[in-house]
Amino acid sequence: MDLSNEKISIVISQGSLEGIYPGLIMANGARAEGMEANLFFTFFGLDAIHRKRQEHIKVATVGNPALHVPTWAGGLPGVSSAMTHVMEHKMEKLEIPSIPEFVELISDTGAGLYACKASVDLFGLEMDDFIEGVDDVITVGEFYEMAFGGHIVFT
């Protein structure tokens, strides 16, 4: 199946480990199929491309029933870090790249990386706060123009 005329725009809106990886995997997979792919980071999803924060993304251990950790325990100091460590260890064994490495890989595939202007303004951020591969800070209107004619996935 030739998918090289297809286009996908993926919105990453969450800043937890499990909130970020699916969008990254989908963008990387789209490029591997020859599709055009753009990633749009909004709200807490911006942490994935934040120079100082992208190395410290954590698993959400509170209010996450599928993790099978009681909410009261998930809130104890160090639990989120420990769970993240376990998850990262498992991922490393499966050769799943860390978030910084994955974002760089996706940029190298030719996918576009964009930050949401409303969120950038809300958090008082600037282009300098983001890693090198980020192409631009864009408005929602510019996002729709870019996404026009393709699929949009919100994560």
Nearer to another protein, 30 or 83 (CB): 30
CB 151 within 8 A of CB 130: no
Residues in contact with another protein by the rule CB under 8 A: 1-4, 25, 28-29, 31-34, 95-97, 102, 105, 108-110
Nearer to another protein, 30 or 69 (CB): 30
Q: Which amino acid is at 100?
A: P
Q: Provide the 8-state DSSP code for 48.
A: G
The CB-of-52 to another protein minimum distance in angstroms stands at: 25
CB 38 within 8 A of CB 10: yes
In the sheet that 7-12 helps form, which strands lie side by side, from edge to edge?
Answer: 136-138, 112-116, 36-41, 7-12, 151-154
The CB-of-21 to another protein minimum distance in angstroms stands at: 10
Nearer to another protein, 16 or 107 (CB): 107
Return the SS3 of 146: helix
Nearer to another protein, 40 or 102 (CB): 102
The CB-of-133 to another protein minimum distance in angstroms stands at: 11
